[in-house]
Amino acid sequence: MKGLGFLALLPLVAARGLRPRSTACNNSPDLCSKNYGEITHLGAHDSPFVRDASTDYSTAGDQYYGTTDQLSAGVRLLTAQIHKKDSAWHLCHSSCELMDAGTLTSWLTDIKKWMDSNANEVVTILLVNSDGASASDIDSAYQSSGLNKYTYTPASSGSWPTLQSMIDDGKRLVTFVTALDGSTSSDTSYLLDEWNYVWENPYEVTSASNFSCTPDRPSSVSGDLSAALQSSKLPLMNHFLYQTTILDIEYPNSSYVSTTNAPSGGTGNLGDTANKCKEQYGGRQPTFILVDFFNEGPAIDTVDSLNNVTNAVGRKEISAGSTSDGSTYGNVFKGLVEMVNKAKSGSNPSMADWVWVGGDWGSLLGGGIALN
């Protein structure tokens, strides 16, 4: 009878053996066995710089939703700029007078809390080191936030583990920095100089017809696709548009972004561009795709297609569209129009006046640039 009891359990055991894996890595069971460098990670360009009520809908903002919302919706690469302000390291967009998103430590703390609550997710951070922070400076922020517990150090520039092994080891945060001064030690070896591990296509694009797959940075592979592909570096595909004001000030193009981030249709759409780059890269998909306004398109559709993900789970649904309540004309050109009208009425605005009206361009210049 005992033997028969065991036999009776065999169908149940077999059924359990045939069940798909229940654990998801980066929102999909199919990605757990994939190498970190062979999949595509969706990136939020200038992640902490948000265009919403908290910034008075500043046209300098590159995203409509904040960093933790980005992560919850499937973004896995976060980029930010580091600037020195009042003896502390802040996240500032070009300058701290333009847009200041707070301290680096505070931002990293938010990411750490999110990773604590999402144990099966591998995250990448890319820091643009605008004011020359040392590895020790950056490490101090990681230590203070507690995020250092998750940091991963690769064995070599061309060797990457599977997502599952990174998760199992508890080392599921990769950090690239552009650029470091070479002062890294064994304690800060997780801070990876971007150009030793990554190459990028051009990023200053103002026309949807000008997106290119050609390597642009670092200089060692610039314009040489063959050298880039042989370098063992990871390809990062920048895919965001700028638009330009009359005074040649560039700011993120939100008016065309539903096409820019779309999986198909329209000049310069993300899906066609990514597939073109994959073809030019000999079948290798971009490891990272960096976009503005990630929820538009939505950009995650293209990344899922490249990763052959059809069973995404655990993502927060964020609808397309802006949280802004102002028109492009009203926010961007109001100050300029007022100044032109003053000039027509006979006044003689100084150059400082022309610069100062930037404060009315949807807070493009953060309330005007201090000229002293």
- CATH class of segment(s) 24-320: alpha beta
**Does the bond joining 154 to the residue before it have cis omega, within 30 degrees of 0?**
no
Model confidence at 223, in pLDDT bands (50, 70, 90)?
Answer: very high
pLDDT > 70 fraction of the chain, expressed in percent and rounded: 80
Position 36 scores a pLDDT of 98
First vs last C-alpha separation in the chain: 93
Q: Which residues contact 185 (CB under 8 A, 6 or more apart)?
A: 135
In sequence order, the 6+-apart residues with CB closer than 8 A to the CB of 307 are: 28, 30, 31, 34, 39, 40, 285
Most distant pair of Cα atoms in the chain: their distance = 106
**How far is 190 from 173, CA to CA, in rounded Å?**
9
Residue 135 confidence (pLDDT) above 90: yes
pTM: 0.83
Helix (H) or strand (E) holding 44: strand 41-44
Burial of 131 (0-12, 13-18, 19+ CB in 10 A): middle
Averaged pLDDT for residues 307-311: 96
Residue 363 CB neighbour total at 10 angstroms: 21
CB 312 within 8 A of CB 64: no
> For residues 185 and 59, which has the higher predicted lDDT (pLDDT)?
59
Query: Domain residues of the chain, as ranges?
Result: 24-320, 326-372
Helix ranges restricted to H, the chain: 2-18, 67-72, 104-117, 135-145, 163-169, 194-197, 225-230, 257-260, 270-280, 299-306, 328-332, 334-344, 351-356
Rounded to an integer, what distance in angstroms lies between the CA atom of residue 116 and that of residue 32?
Answer: 19
- Number of H-type helices and E-type strands within the chain: 13, 12
- Answer yes or no: is pLDDT of 68 > 50: yes
Q: Which two tokens stand for residue 254?
A: 């939100």
The amino acid present at 195, given as its one-letter code, is: W
Ranked by mean pLDDT, which of 55-59, 129-133, 185-189 comes out on top? 129-133
Q: What is the pLDDT of residues 171-216, one digit of tens each?
A: 999 999 998 887 667 789 999 999 999 999 999 999 999 999 999 9
Check if the beta carbon of residue 71 is closer than 8 Å to that of residue 318: no
Distance CA 187, CA 204 (A): 35
